[in-house]
Structure 1
Amino acid sequence: MASLKEVRARITSVSSTQQITKAMKMVAAAKLRRAQDNIMRMRPYAQRLSGILTNLSAITDQGSVTNVYSEKREVNRVLIMAVTSDRGLAGAFNSNIIKAATTLVAGKYKSQFEAGNVTFLGIGKKGHEAFMKKGYNTIGEYSTLFSNLSFDTVRVAAERAMDGFVNKEFDEVVLVYNEFKNVATQIVRTEQFLPIEDQPADVAAANTMTADYTFEPSKEEIIVELIPKSLKIQVYKAVLESNASEHGARMTAMDKATENAGELLKQLKLTYNRTRQAAITNEILEIVGGAEALAAK
C-alpha cells in the first residue's frame, strides 16, 4: 500500500491537472463561439460561390474561354491537402485526419504512392510533423497558420496547390479536413479540390435552367478573376470548419479529462483515508500492546 506522503502527492498532482483541464475547457469554449460564428457566416457564401464556380466551369468548357482549373489529366501525381491543428489535447481530432489521408493513399492512390508521386501539404503543425515522420513527400510550411488565421494566410497555401496543378506538378489535388457539426461531432471530409468536378447530369440540367448570368465587363475577365478566388474561398472554408472542429474537440476532451480527474480524486481520497485509518489503528495496537507488556511486568 502506498504511503500517506505518496497519496498526498498524487492528490495534489491530480488536483493541479484538473484545474488546468478545466481552464483549457473554458478557453476552448470561448474560442469555439467565435470560430462557430465565423463558419456559420462563411457557409452560405461559400456554398453559393461553389455553385457559381461549377456553373462557370461548365460555361468555359462549352465556350471559347479556357479554364485551366478544370483540365482533366491522367492521374499520375497527387497532392493531398490535410488540415489538422497546431496543438494537441483535442482527442482524436488530428489522428482522424492523418488516418483518413493515409488510408486514401493506401487505397485510391496506391499505385501513385508506390511510384513516389504522392505529396502532402499539411495545413497545421500536427499533420505536417506526422507526414514527415512517416517519410511521406511534403511541401510547404504552414504549421503556424492558425496563430493568425485569416483569408490572406490561407490564400498562400491554396495558391501553392493551385499553381502546382496549373504547372502540371500535380494532376489531382484532394482536400481532407474535419467538418464542424456540433461540439461533440466532427465529420472527416475528403473532397476533390482540383480539377473542378463536374456536376451530376440531373443537377447540371437543373442549374442550366436557373443559371442565367450577365457578364460585365466581359466573360473572360470575370472567369479569370472569379474562379481562382472561388477555389481559395473553398480552402478557407475548409480551414474555418477545421478550426471550429478543433475547439469543439478540445472542449469535449478537456471536459472528459476534468471528469476523469474528479473520479480519480475520489479514489485517491478514499485510499488516503483508508491508509490513514490503518496507520492510526496500527498506532493504537502498538500502544495497547506496550501497555499490556508493562502491566505484565
Structure 2
Amino acid sequence: MASLKEVRNRIVSVGSTQQITKAMKMVAAAKLRRAQDNILRMRPYAQRLNSILSNLSNVRDEDGGNVYAQKREVQRVLIIAVTSDRGLCGAFNSNVMKAVNNLINERYSAQAAAGNIEVMAIGKKGHEYFHKRNMPLAGDYTAVFGKLSFETVRVAAEEAMEGFRTGLYDQVDLVYNEFKNVATQIVRTEQFLPIQESEGTQAAATPVESDYIFEPSKEEILEQLIPKSLKIQVYKAVLESNASEHGARMTAMDKATENAGELLKQLKLTYNRTRQAAITTEILEIVGGAEALAASR
C-alpha cells in the first residue's frame, strides 16, 4: 500500500491537472463561439458560390474553356490536409491523417508507388506527421492558424491552383474536419480540382444549354469568379476545421476534467483508508505496549 506522503502528492498533482484542463475547456469554449459564428456566416455564401462555380465549370469558350475543369489522366496528386497547430483535442488530428492514408491506399496506390503524391499540410500537426514519414510536402503552412484570415489561406489555395493549371498536379483533393456540433466532427474528403460538374448536369441524359447573361464578359467571369470561388472553398474548409478543433478540444478537456474528478475521489478514499489504517496500527501498538508493561509488573 502506498504511503500517506505518496498519496498526498498524487492528490496535489491530479488537482493541479484538473485546474489546467478546466481552464483549457473554458478557453476552448470562448474560441469555439467565435469560430462557430464565422463558419455559420460563411456556409451560405460558400455553398451558393460553389453552386455557381459548378454551373460555370460546364461553360466552354472557343479557346478551350475553364482550365480548372479540365480532366486529365491522374498521374500526379496533391492532397490538402487540414489539421491543427496544437494537440489535446482528442482524435481530431489523427482522424484526418488516417483519412489521408486511407485515400492514398485505396485510390492512389499506383501514384504512391511511383512517388507522385504530395501533401499540402495546413497546420503544424499534419506537417510534423507527414514530414516524419518522409512524405513529399508542398509548401509550409504551419502558421495559418496563428492569424487566421482569408489572405493567409489564399496563398495555399493559389499554390494548389497554380500546380493544377501548369500540369504539376492532375488532381487535388481536400481532407478536413467538418463542424457539426461541439461533440461531433465529420471527416470530409472532397475533390477540389478538377472542378466537378453539378449534380443536375451529371444526371442529365443530354447536355442542357443554360441561358446565361454574362456581364461584363464571359471571359472575365471565367478568369475572375472561378479562381475566387476555389479560394473561398479552401477558406471554408479551414474555417470548418478551426471550429471543429475548438469543439474537439472542449469535449476532450471536459472529459479529462471529469476523469480527474473521479480519480481525486478514489485517491481521497485511499488516503483516508491508509490514514485510518496507520492510526489503528499506532493504537494497537500503544495498547500492546501498555499490556506488556502491565504484565511485567
Output the CA distance in 2 between the equivalents of 1:201 and 1:47.
Answer: 15
Output the CA distance in 2 between the equivalents of 1:42 and 1:85.
Answer: 20
Assess, with a 3 A threshold, how the Cα gap between structure 1 residues 223 and 14 changes in structure 2: closer, same or farther.
Answer: same
SS at match of 2:169: coil
Q: Which amino acid aligns with 1:224?
A: E
Question: 2:50–2:233: 8 Å Cα contact kept in structure 1?
Answer: yes
Whether 1:188 and 2:187 are equivalent positions in the alignment is yes
Output the CA distance in 2 between the equivalents of 1:258 and 1:211.
Answer: 57
Output the CA distance in 2 between the equivalents of 1:261 and 1:210.
Answer: 63
Whether 1:219 and 2:218 are equivalent positions in the alignment is yes
Whether 1:3 and 2:3 are equivalent positions in the alignment is yes
2:65 counterpart residue number: 66
2:91 counterpart residue number: 92
Whether 1:33 and 2:33 are equivalent positions in the alignment is yes
Assess, with a 3 A threshold, how the Cα gap between structure 1 residues 30 and 264 changes in structure 2: closer, same or farther.
Answer: same
Q: Which amino acid aligns with 1:41?
A: R
Output the CA distance in 2 between the equivalents of 1:4 and 1:212.
Answer: 82
Over the matched positions of the two proteins, sequence identity in percent amounts to 73
Output the CA distance in 2 between the equivalents of 1:16 and 1:26.
Answer: 16
Deviation string, structure 1 residues 95-145 (Cα, Å, up to 9, x no partner): 000000011111100000000001100001001110111221112111121
1:138 counterpart residue number: 137
For this pair of structures, how many residues does the alignment match?
295
Structure 1 residues 109-258: aligned runs within 5 Å: 109-201=108-200, 212-258=211-257
Question: 2:201–2:208: 8 Å Cα contact kept in structure 1?
Answer: no
Q: Which amino acid aligns with 1:103?
A: N
Output the CA distance in 2 between the equivalents of 1:229 and 1:26.
Answer: 36
Deviation string, structure 1 residues 119-178 (Cα, Å, up to 9, x no partner): 100001001110111221112111121010000000011111111111111110000000
1:45 counterpart residue number: 45
Output the CA distance in 2 between the equivalents of 1:32 and 1:211.
Answer: 41
SS at match of 1:66: coil
2:272 counterpart residue number: 273
SS at match of 1:178: strand
SS at match of 1:155: helix
Question: 1:83–1:242: 8 Å Cα contact kept in structure 2?
Answer: yes
Output the CA distance in 2 between the equivalents of 1:274 and 1:238.
Answer: 54
Structure 1 residues 95-110: aligned runs within 5 Å: 95-110=94-109
Output the CA distance in 1 between the equivalents of 2:29 and 2:210.
Answer: 41
Q: Which amino acid aligns with 1:142?
A: Y
Deviation string, structure 1 residues 189-244 (Cα, Å, up to 9, x no partner): 00000010122356665xx9896432222110121011100000000000000000
What stretches of structure 1 of length at least 5 have no aligned partner? none
Assess, with a 3 A threshold, how the Cα gap between structure 1 residues 202 and 77 changes in structure 2: closer, same or farther.
Answer: closer
Output the CA distance in 2 between the equivalents of 1:142 and 1:37.
Answer: 24
2:16 counterpart residue number: 16
Q: Which amino acid aligns with 1:156?
A: V
Q: Which amino acid aligns with 1:21?
A: T
Question: 2:80–2:121: 8 Å Cα contact kept in structure 1?
Answer: yes
Question: 2:51–2:198: 8 Å Cα contact kept in structure 1?
Answer: no
Output the CA distance in 2 between the equivalents of 1:189 and 1:132.
Answer: 22
Question: 2:29–2:246: 8 Å Cα contact kept in structure 1?
Answer: yes
SS at match of 1:59: coil
SS at match of 2:186: strand
Question: 1:154–1:236: 8 Å Cα contact kept in structure 2?
Answer: yes
Runs ≥4 residues deviating over 3 A = 62-65, 200-205, 208-213
SS at match of 2:275: helix
Q: What TM-score do the two structures reach when normalised by structure 1? A: 0.96
Output the CA distance in 2 between the equivalents of 1:204 and 1:277.
Answer: 77
Question: 1:65–1:220: 8 Å Cα contact kept in structure 2?
Answer: no
Whether 1:262 and 2:261 are equivalent positions in the alignment is yes
Output the CA distance in 1 between the equivalents of 2:40 and 2:209.
Answer: 26
Question: 1:179–1:186: 8 Å Cα contact kept in structure 2?
Answer: yes
How far did residue 251 of structure 1 move?
0.4
Output the CA distance in 2 between the equivalents of 1:147 and 1:98.
Answer: 21
What stretches of structure 2 of length at least 5 have no aligned partner? none
